[in-house]
Each structure stands twice: as structure tokens, then as C-alpha cells.
Amino acid sequence: MIYNSLSLISENFLHDNEDIKKFTHLLLDHKIIYTVKRSFSHKFHPGVTFFRAFMINSGLHSDLQNLHDRIQEIDLAASDAGEKIRSAPILTEKKIMELWSIVPKT
């Protein structure tokens, strides 16, 4: 199975959900993910919803390096990177909450 290293999350959802915002900042602080782009619309879902793009940093952590051959990466320096970001998969609120429910609470 090939995984996409890039995912989009609704800016409104991040703003309105304090737990998810804190968890996202934790992932950013530990350099597991990084922000690629902020406040843009999706290519296939135009409208008033804006997204933030996050990319998995698969080269930094040994656990993620094991998945390197199964993660589809985007070359951010390529001329078509903007279009690839705008058409990346959206992590829906439902999916985020499903994932959040299995995160250990400390």
C-alpha cells in the first residue's frame, strides 16, 4: 500500500478543536510533520473552506524511514507542487476524530 505524505486539514477544524490543535503542534514540535502551506482552497472542493497542508517528515525518524518506500512524497521545488498540494487528500473531521480516539492520553 502506498501512503501519501501530504494531508490537508480544515483551518476551521484546527481553530475550533483545542485538543487537535495541541496535538498538531506537538507533532510539529517533534518534527514528525511540518506545515507546507496555509489558508488555501482545495482544487476539487472550492468554496469558503480553507485548508492547511501538512507533510510527514519521513527522513528524520527511524520508524518512518522503514515506511519510506511506501510513502509517496511530493517534491516541493517542482513546478507542479502547488497543484499537487491543492489536490492532496483531505483528512476529514470524522477521520481525525477516529485517529484521535486511539492516541494515548498523557
Give the model's pLDDT for residue 39. 82
Give the model's pLDDT for residue 70. 65
Give the model's pLDDT for residue 97. 85
Give the model's pLDDT for residue 16. 92
What is the mean pLDDT, run by run of 10 residues, along the chain of 106 residues?
75 90 88 86 75 81 64 82 85 85 78
Q: What DSSP letter does each residue of the chain carry, written as one string?
A: --EESEEEEEHHHHHH-HHHHHHHHHHHHTTSEEEEEEEE--SSS-SS--EEEEEE-TTTSHHHHTTGGGEE---TTSTTHHHHHHTSPB--HHHHHHHHTTSPP-
